[in-house]
C-alpha cells in the first residue's frame, strides 16, 4: 500500500469515527419510561402501541435509532416505523428494540393517488412495493391498488386506513371486503386540525371512523404519525395480546382487540372495554365507605348512580373513598371518558359487598 493510500484510509476511518460519535451524541439517552401497565384482562396482556411514524428514510426528521429509543422512553411496548414506500428502517429498528423488550412490526405507508393513505403492517420481506403511490385502476404505469393489496395479504400483512380524510372510498371498501384493510385511525396526532378531522370530544379526531370501525369490523387505532421529536401527551393504541410478539400483536389486530387511548379518553368496543374496566377498576365497601381503586394508567371519570357528589375522578393507580351513603350491594357507574361509540359512554355495575 502506498503512503498516499494509507493516508487516505486513515482519513476515511477518522471520518467514520467522527460520524459515529456524532450519531451517538445526537441519540436520546435511555430513561425510565413512565409507568403504563394495565392488569391482565383474562388471558390477554395489554400493550401500548404506536403503529404509524416516520424517519429520515422518508419524510421524517429523526433516525431509526432515535425513533426506537424515543418510543421506549415514552413507554410504548410495540411500534411500527412506516416510512413512505419503504420498510428500510425495519431491520435496524428490530435489532435496537430487541434488548429493550420493544416489539417492532415491519411496516410502510402507501397511498392511492394522494387520497387514501394506507399503513401496511407486519408484511414479510416477500412484499416489495413497486411504488409508494398506487394506481386507482388497472393498466396504469403505477401498480394497481388491488394487486398490491393482494400481495400484502399473501405476505401475511394487513392494512390500517390512516388519517381517513379521503372518506369511505371504493378502494377502502374493497380492501375491507377482501379482509385486507383491518383497522382505521380514529386519532392521528400529526394532522392536528387538518386532514378533514372533526372537532369533537375536546380534540380534533375522526369520530365518523369510530362508526366505520363498529359497522365494518375494523380495529381502532390512535397513532402519532410522528415525523419529528415527540412532545407532550401522545396517542396510544392499546392491544390485548395472547402472546408478546409481532405475530401476537397482529393476531390481536385481526381479532379487533384494540382500544384507542388519547386526550384522556378510551374509545373501543363495548365488550372489550367492559372487560378492560372490570380488570382495571376495583370497587368495594369498607367501614369508611365505598372505595374505588384504579389499577391502570388512565385517569377515569366516573358518574356513580345513587351517590351524593357522584362525579369523581380516580387518578392513575389511585383510589377514591366516596362515603358510606350508597345503599344496596351494587353500584352503577357511567364512565364519562370511556366511549363505546361517538355518542355513548360505557356503563358498569359493581358488587360492593364488604369483603
- Digit-by-digit pLDDT tens for the chain (355 residues) are 454 455 455 544 444 444 344 344 445 678 888 999 999 999 999 999 999 999 999 999 999 999 999 999 999 999 999 999 999 999 999 999 999 999 999 999 999 986 899 999 999 999 988 788 999 999 888 999 999 999 999 999 999 999 999 999 999 999 999 999 999 999 999 999 999 999 999 999 999 999 999 999 999 999 999 999 999 899 999 999 999 999 999 999 999 999 999 999 999 999 999 999 999 999 888 888 888 999 999 999 999 886 666 889 999 999 998 876 555 678 899 999 999 999 999 999 998 875 4
Superfamily of domain 27-267: Metal-dependent hydrolases (3.20.20.140)
CATH topology of domain 274-351: Immunoglobulin-like (2.60.40)
Query: What pLDDT sits at residue 234?
Result: 96
- Whose cell is 391498488? That residue is 145
Query: What pLDDT sits at residue 25?
Result: 42
Write down the domain spans for the chain.
Answer: 27-267, 274-351
**Prediction pTM value:** 0.90
Amino acid at each position: 500500500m502506498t503512503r498516499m493510500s494509507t493516508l487516505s484510509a486513515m482519513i476515511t476511518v477518522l471520518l467514520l469515527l467522527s460520524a459515529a460519535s456524532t450519531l451517538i451524541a445526537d441519540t436520546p439517552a435511555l430513561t425510565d419510561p413512565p409507568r403504563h401497565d394495565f392488569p391482565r384482562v383474562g388471558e390477554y396482556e395489554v400493550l401500548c402501541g404506536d403503529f404509524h411514524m416516520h424517519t429520515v428514510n422518508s419524510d421524517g426528521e429523526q433516525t431509526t435509532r432515535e425513533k426506537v429509543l424515543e418510543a421506549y422512553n415514552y413507554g410504548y411496548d410495540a411500534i411500527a416505523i412506516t416510512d413512505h414506500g419503504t420498510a428500510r428502517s425495519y431491520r435496524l429498528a428490530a435489532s435496537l428494540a430487541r434488548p429493550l423488550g420493544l416489539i417492532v412490526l415491519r411496516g410502510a405507508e402507501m397511498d392511492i393517488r394522494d387520497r387514501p393513505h394506507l399503513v401496511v403492517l407486519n408484511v414479510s420481506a416477500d412484499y416489495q412495493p413497486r411504488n409508494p403511490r398506487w394506481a386507482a385502476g388497472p393498466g396504469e404505469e403505477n401498480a394497481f391498488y388491488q394487486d398490491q393489496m393482494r400481495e400484502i395479504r399473501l405476505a401475511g400483512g394487513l392494512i390500517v386506513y390512516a388519517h381517513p380524510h379521503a372518506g369511505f372510498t371504493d378502494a377502502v371498501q374493497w380492501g375491507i371486503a377482501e379482509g385486507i384493510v383491518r383497522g382505521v385511525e380514529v386519532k392521528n396526532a400529526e394532522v392536528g386540525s387538518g386532514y378533514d378531522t372533526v372537532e369533537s370530544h375536546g380534540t380534533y379526531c375522526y369520530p365518523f371512523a369510530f362508526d366505520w370501525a363498529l359497522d365494518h369490523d375494523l380495529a381502532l387505532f390512535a397513532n402519532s404519525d410522528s415525523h419529528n421529536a415527540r412532545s407532550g401527551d401522545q396517542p396510544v393504541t392499546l392491544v390485548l395480546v395472547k402472546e408478546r410478539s409481532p405475530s401476537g400483536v397482529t393476531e390481536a389486530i385481526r381479532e379487533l382487540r384494540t382500544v384507542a387511548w388519547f386526550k384522556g379518553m378510551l374509545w373501543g368496543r363495548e365488550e372489550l372495554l367492559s372487560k378492560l374496566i372490570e380488570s382495571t377498576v376495583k370497587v368495594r365497601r369498607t367501614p369508611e365507605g365505598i372505595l374505588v381503586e384504579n389499577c391502570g394508567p388512565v385517569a377515569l371519570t366516573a358518574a356513580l348512580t345513587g351517590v351524593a357528589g357522584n362525579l369523581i375522578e380516580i387518578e392513575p393507580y389511585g383510589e377514591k373513598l366516596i362515603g358510606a351513603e350508597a345503599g344496596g350491594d351494587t353500584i352503577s357507574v357511567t364512565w364519562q371518558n370511556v366511549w363505546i361509540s361517538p355518542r355513548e359512554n360505557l356503563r358498569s355495575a359493581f358488587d360492593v359487598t364488604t369483603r
